[in-house]
Amino acid sequence: MEEEKLETRGNPEPERKDPREKVIVLKNVKKIYHMGKERVHAVDGVSFEIYRGEFCCLLGTSGSGKSTLLNLMAGIEKASGGEILIKGKSVRAMSENTLAKFRQKNLGFVFQSYNLIASMNAVENVEFPLVFKRVPPKRRRALAEQMLRQVGLADRMQHLPKEMSGGQQQRVGIARAFVARPEIVFADEPTGNLDTKTTMEVMDLIHAMARRNRQTIVMVTHDPRLAEYADKIINILDGKIQSVEVRRSAEEIEAECQEEIRKYQEEKQRRKELRMQKMKNLRDSMKTGRKKKANAKEDAAAEPAADEENTVLGTAVTEILDEETAIEEALKKETEAIEEKAVTEVSEKDE
């Protein structure tokens, strides 16, 4: 009905606007480093937009300006020119204090060198961003543990960074970046120190985490294979954008999010059932234990009766034995009597 009405009105098809929020907008951003008299144009007039929920890769060779660009977006470094808007707010206009709070509230970071605190164990490292968010200690611990379980480190919670492999440390790094559910996660070569197999596992993990919560990812890499994960690839060379490649539409991203959420719910359900089964087994074994104990008690209580039984049995056996002896004796007597009689008869005959 609605469609018919629109058709009869004969309105021209309105231009389809992407309804997604532009969470990151860069307009002609520049960063110039002064090295004595020399000027290094690390970022040289860069403009692009990233939508909410996009997995975006900054791809370029070493020295192309990727890390500088990421640091500018995260407000870690100040741009020399241009404008950077994160969630509609100008990073440049924010005071240090406001910026620090903004970062804590909205941004997460994954670093190439993991950047874990050496004296803190896995769960304490993951809890760390929640301390700034004033999450109460018990809740903090529960959330951190939940995250570590999600990244497959349930059995490494108490390990210090030096007691974990590189891949495991980066999993802790990912758990820490995602624990406070930031809207945007920046990752600078997060797999730079890992072997190929672990790299793929870590990439899958970042991808899954982001999809599960519809988070925006900006990841720096020089590896075109990793850019395969991206919905949008921004190619950079000598501080300039070479090309922007959109690989997935909003609908495709949403479909992936829904699929990941479904998988996660299933996994959660599976874990819940497993937990319930374990609890049931535990309860059953406790019941069996209690029964055994009760039986043992009964047995102990029944022991005197058994003794009595034995006594009765013993008496019976003695009686039987006595009887047998009596019969034997009687038989013996009888045989003797017969023999005596026979002897008497024979001697009488002889006489």
Contact residues: ligand ATP, CB under 6 A:
33, 35, 40, 42, 60, 62-68, 222
Binding residues for Mg ion, total number by CB under 5 A: 1
Q: Smallest Cα–Cα separation from 246: which of 54, 24, 45?
A: 54
- Residue 62's binding partner out of Mg ion, ligand ATP, none, with CB under 5 to 8 Å set by partner kind: ligand ATP
Cross-strand partners of 38:
35
| Closer of 31 and 176 to ligand ATP (Cβ) | 31
Which one of ligand ATP, Mg ion, none interacts with residue 221, CB within 5 to 8 A by kind? none
Compute the radius of gyration of the chain from its Cα atoms: 42
The strand pair at 240-246 and 38-51 is best described as unpaired
Choose the contact partner of 40 out of ligand ATP, Mg ion, none; CB within 5 to 8 A by kind: ligand ATP
Between 65 and 182, whose beta carbon lies closer to ligand ATP? 65
Q: How far is the CB of 254 from Mg ion (least distance, A)?
A: 31
What the block records as the tokens of 21 is 């929020």
SS3 category, 239: coil
213 — alpha (psi -120 to 50), left (phi > 0) or beta? Answer: alpha
| Minimum distance from residue 65 beta carbon to ligand ATP (Å) | 4
**Core vs surface per residue 315-331: b (16+ CB within 10 A) or e:** eeeeeeeeeeeeeeeee
| C-beta of 41 vs 212, nearer to Mg ion | 41
Does residue 216 belong to the site contacting Mg ion (CB under 5 A)? no
Strand partners, 246: 232
Q: Which does 261 bind (CB under 5 to 8 A by kind): Mg ion, ligand ATP, none?
A: none
Question: Which one, 76 or 120, has the nearer CB to ligand ATP?
Answer: 76
- Which 3 state secondary structure label does DSSP give 193? coil
Note the maximum CA span of the chain: 164
60 touches, from Mg ion, ligand ATP, none (C-beta below 5 to 8 Å by class): ligand ATP
Residue number, 71 or 150, with CB nearest to ligand ATP: 71
Cβ–Cβ < 8 Å for 271, 278: no
Helices and strands per DSSP (H, E), number in the chain: 8, 10
Residue number of the CB closest to Mg ion reads 67
**Residue placing its CB nearer to ligand ATP in the complex, 32 or 160:** 32
In the complex with ligand ATP, which residue's Cβ is closer, 64 or 150? 64
Find which of Mg ion, ligand ATP, none residue 119 binds, CB within 5 to 8 Å per kind. Answer: none
What are the tokens at 106?
Answer: 């909205």
Are 136 and 216 within 8 A, CB to CB? no
Using CB under 5 A as the binding rule, the residues of this chain from 60 to 79 that contact Mg ion are 67
Binding partner at 63 among Mg ion, ligand ATP, none, C-beta below 5 to 8 Å by kind: ligand ATP
Name which of ligand ATP, Mg ion, none residue 33 binds, using a CB cut-off of 5 to 8 Å depending on partner kind: ligand ATP
How near is the Cβ of 54 to ligand ATP at its closest, in Å? 21
CB of 81 to ligand ATP, least distance (A): 15
For 287, left (φ over 0), alpha (ψ -120 to 50), or beta? alpha
**Are 59 and 242 spatial neighbours (Cβ–Cβ below 8 Å)?**
no
The DSSP 8-state label assigned to residue 14 in this structure reads P
Choose among ligand ATP, Mg ion, none what residue 103 binds, the Cβ cut-off being 5 to 8 Å by kind: none
Cβ closest to ligand ATP, residue 33 vs residue 132 = 33
Q: For residues 67 and 168, which CB has a smaller minimum distance to Mg ion in the complex?
A: 67
Cβ at position 126, least distance to Mg ion in Å: 25
Instruction: Specify the DSSP class assigned to residue 326.
Output: H
Q: How many angstroms separate the Cα of 199 from the Cα of each of 161, 169, 175, 191?
A: 18, 12, 16, 5
Contact positions vs Mg ion (CB under 5 A): 67
